[in-house]
A and B are shown apart, each in its own frame.
Chain A
Amino acid sequence: MVPVTAVESHPTDAAFVVDIAGFNGPLDLLLSLIRDEQVDVYDIPVARICEQFLQRMHALKLNEAAEYLEMAARLIRIKAQMLLPRKEGEEGWEDPRAELVRRLLEYQQMREVVDVLEKLGEDRRNRFGRSFLQQAAAPPPAPLALSLSDLLVAVDRVLRAARKPTIHEVIPRALDVDGAMTTVRAVLELRAHARWRDVVRADAEPWEVLSGLLALLELAKRTELHLTQLRPFADVEIRREFAGEAA
């Protein structure tokens, strides 16, 4: 056995390699002692096991591993408690070993599961499937099924479409948001409530509609007015917002 002083919580990626001198912690060491000594786990001779534990710890140079030290301390305490005199048939006496036994049994049970898992994992590990452990690559796109004439027809179609380009002439029309804002303010000067049609004429040009909309949104943002629309495409209600009332 190789003595290793590193403990499991070593920060490097040691999670899958570190065994402290072949033992997986103090419970493991304790369990192996109990097995070696062939004692009953329900009736552990604590003094003997404690001594053995300390000897092993020393031999394996585990003196610096906190978990082993803690277990050693626990064993010594139980040993001391066992030495305390108690009356025959005393009520309420609790075996100081009970908690340790419970943990040992729990640990041992878990070790049985480990054996099962090890077997299952090994069985699975020993069989290769297709593309084992490889990420399934996305299937390549199917090659194009094209004949030369298909291709020529397509080229011809593209060329013919390209021959008569439609040229749209875009005339920039400046929006007049400031003007629309003046209009909205003027309307709200006169009345506290207004509607969309009060600020944008029914026969307004698109640029006027856009200017009106942006003006309303801008004023709403500045909390000068309040906009409500009950449902999509319903008329927009415009309400004057008084200073201090703004939410």
Chain B
Amino acid sequence: MNSLAKLLEAALFASPRPIPTDELAALDPEASPAALQSAIDELREHYDVDGHGVSLVDVGAGWQILTRPEYTETIERAQLAARPQRLSAAALETLAIIAYRQPIGRAEVAEIRGVDVGAVIKGLHERGLIDVVGRAEGLGRPLLYGTTPSFLEQFGLRHLEELPRVDELAIALRKPGQLDEPEAASEAVPEVAEPVVA
């Protein structure tokens, strides 16, 4: 490995958090962007090709050295590290709606899920996955929620656009003509909508 790649490796090892590319660049101000990129590539290949228990991953918030998934069970069984708690289906549903429709109020989420979502939203908020991003106009000025950078990080996304687009989802591929009421079917394709206050 060249010396820049070694420097990156040392920094990534020392840092408790992912390091964004621009912070990696700041480690050696004399290195050109191309040199930095090739050093990142070299380090990544070093882990991938030579066969290591870890690999270099762009986790969204930056680069991080992560253990390979096949060792997770053993590491967790030995209580050396613990995986974060898995989100319940209810929490994931709520999170999915908020991710696609943000900013969105609680009533609208409940409308789509068909159940009350107060407790779930509170839980997601406590886990830092969503946050209040504003208030809707209208009666009671309900709080509007959106996803946080921590959401991206916990799902390994660089930005929201990495989520599948609404028109790529399988259900939307159904022809509207297959429904008796054409306009009802076209309504069924949820676009990112303006917040509606119930």
Contact = CB atoms under 8 A, between A and B. Distances in A.
Interface in A33-77: 40, 42-43, 67, 71
Contacts of A114: 89, 92-93, 96
Interface stretch (A97-105, A180-188, A202-210): A97-105
B112 to A, nearest CB: 6
Nearest to B175: A42
A43 B15 CA distance: 57
Interface string B49-91: 0000000010100001111110010010000011111111111
B52 to A, nearest CB: 13
A131 B15 CA distance: 9
A9 interface: yes
Nearest to A136: B16
Interface in A98-129: 98-99, 101-103, 105-114, 116-118, 120-129
A13 interface: yes
Interface of A: 7-11, 13-19, 24-28, 40, 42-43, 67, 71, 94-95, 97-99, 101-103, 105-114, 116-118, 120-134, 136-137
Nearest to A95: B180
Contacts of B64: 129-130
B114 A67 contact: yes
B188 A121 contact: no
Nearest to B176: A42
A40 B67 CA distance: 45
Contacts of B88: 15-19
B85 A16 contact: yes
A9 B164 contact: no
Given A16-B85, A109-B169, 5 more contacts: A10-B119, A15-B119, A24-B89, A128-B83, A129-B59
B170 A112 contact: yes
Interface stretch (B23-31, B130-138, B154-162): B154-162
27 contacts: A8-B120, A15-B119, A24-B90, A25-B115, A97-B180, A98-B179, A101-B184, A101-B185, A102-B185, A102-B187, A105-B185, A106-B190, A109-B172, A109-B188, A109-B189, A110-B97, A110-B112, A111-B93, A113-B163, A113-B164, A117-B92, A121-B92, A124-B154, A124-B156, A125-B83, A127-B66, A128-B66
A13 B123 contact: yes
Q: Which 7 A-B pairs have the closest CB atoms?
A: A15-B123, A131-B16, A105-B188, A25-B115, A98-B184, A127-B66, A113-B96
B59 A112 contact: no
B93 A110 contact: yes
Contacts of A7: 115-116
Contacts of A17: 88
Contacts of A132: 81
Given A8-B119, A42-B179, A120-B156, A71 B90 contact: no
B17 to A, nearest CB: 6
Contact of B164 (A16, A116, A136, A137): A116
Nearest to A14: B119
Output the residue of A11, A116, A131 with the most chain B CB within 10 A.
Answer: A116
Contacts of B172: 109
A5 B181 CA distance: 37
Given A17-B88, A109-B169, A124 B155 contact: yes
A107 B115 CA distance: 12
Contacts of A129: 18, 59, 64-67
B91 A15 contact: yes
Contacts of B124: 15
Given A25-B113, A121-B87, A136-B16, A98 B180 contact: yes
Given A118-B92, A128-B67, A8 B116 contact: yes
Contacts of B116: 7-9, 67
A18 B90 contact: yes
Given A25-B113, A67-B114, A98-B181, A126 B190 contact: no
